[in-house]
Amino acid sequence: MPSAITSTSSQTDATIFGGHGIARPQLTKPLSDSGSLQQYSHNDPTPAIGREFPTLKIRDLLKADDQLFRDLAYTISSRGVVFLRNQDVTPNELKDFMLRLTTLAGCPSTSGLHVHPLTEEGSELGDQISVISSEKQKKGGGLTHQLSDVSRYASNAWHSDITFEPVPSDYAMLKIHTLPVTGGDTLWASGYEVYDRLSEPMREMLKKLTATHDAKFFLDEARNLGNPLRECERGSPLNKGAELAAVHPVIRTNPVTGWNSVYVNKGFTKRINGVTKDESDILLKYLFNMVTQNHDAQVRFRWSKNDVAIWDNRSTWHCATYDYNDPRAGDRVCSLGEAPYLDVQGGKSRKEELGF
């Protein structure tokens, strides 16, 4: 089983828990907002998480200067998820957008776009596009169906993308192009908000712990789909092979904001390490309940055709609402960031830093 390795970013090893030397963020300090996005109308659907730009277009953003892109990266990381309506954009433009976003947000030089272990070789949309399809999930199983084998609670599908990789996703982007007449919303929850609701003694205990994230059920799904698992390098030299498991800190610092977030999720986190299984089960249940039972830490998005959501996987969870029978499909791109780490001395509480 892989273990958390000390040393990341430009700081001294004594301040860092977790991470990996070749997957360090290139930022020497968190980003800040220059205000360049203020020229575009926007609204925040909830106080805790989410921002919508009703008129902002991805094709215009692709022509914008670097500062606006950095401000967008900061906005996504600070608000958790950004919604863009009615986007006429191709899969290749989605990939170009995500590469520029993650690069300007300071991703490691070794990180690129993720190749999902279940992506078919030779896919016409390219290795870096994951087709999110309800029909495909019915055939292969998928995260939601894997969870439904053990629970009938829809909330068990809450997850952050690809946390089973040693270098998981920083940002993800989903364009929904096929929708049922009604249903199929997606919810996001704020990891900053959950961290801020922990008592100080609980925070300090969790900061010393790591957790194992595991997606071995993808091995069964690959067999169900009749496709070989992608064991090649999946966007980072650290992401390869068929183990599909990684160890990450339970509390993670987002280098773009400098804020701490809880970093375990129902979809992939199997065990908190260094404690008994009983203690792990109790802690994970408590943390998962903090996500699912705090509605004021969540935002719910009702999709229209060709809408796009972009979110920060380091500091959010999300969950689709499976309340439909008609097809629902879209294209997703995940960029890879740094190996997760906790900045023991520099990581901050969002609420404490912003003063609310």
The question of whether 296 is a catalytic residue gets the answer no
* CA–CA–CA angle 235, 238, 244 (5° rounding): 90
Q: Residue 29: its pLDDT value, please?
A: 95
Estimate the crossing angle of helix 91-104 against helix 66-79, to 10 degrees.
Answer: 90
Query: What domains, with CATH codes, occur in the chain?
Result: 13-354 (3.60.130.10)
The question of whether 88 is a catalytic residue gets the answer no
Biggest CA-to-CA distance, the chain? 54
Q: Residue 10: its pLDDT value, please?
A: 43
pTM of this structure: 0.92
Of residues 234, 248, 332, 350, which has the active-site annotation? 332
Q: Could you state, in chain order, the average pLDDT of each consecutive group of 10 residues for the chain (356 residues)?
A: 39 78 94 96 98 96 96 98 96 96 97 91 72 61 50 83 98 95 96 98 98 94 85 96 97 98 97 98 98 97 97 97 89 97 96 90
Q: Residue 3: its pLDDT value, please?
A: 37
Alpha helices in the chain (DSSP H): 58-62, 66-79, 91-104, 134-140, 142-148, 191-196, 200-206, 217-225, 277-292, 350-354
Of residues 79, 114, 318, 350, which has the active-site annotation? 318
Q: Residue 21: its pLDDT value, please?
A: 86
The question of whether 51 is a catalytic residue gets the answer no
The question of whether 343 is a catalytic residue gets the answer no
Of residues 20, 24, 79, 159, which has the active-site annotation? 159
Q: Residue 137: its pLDDT value, please?
A: 61
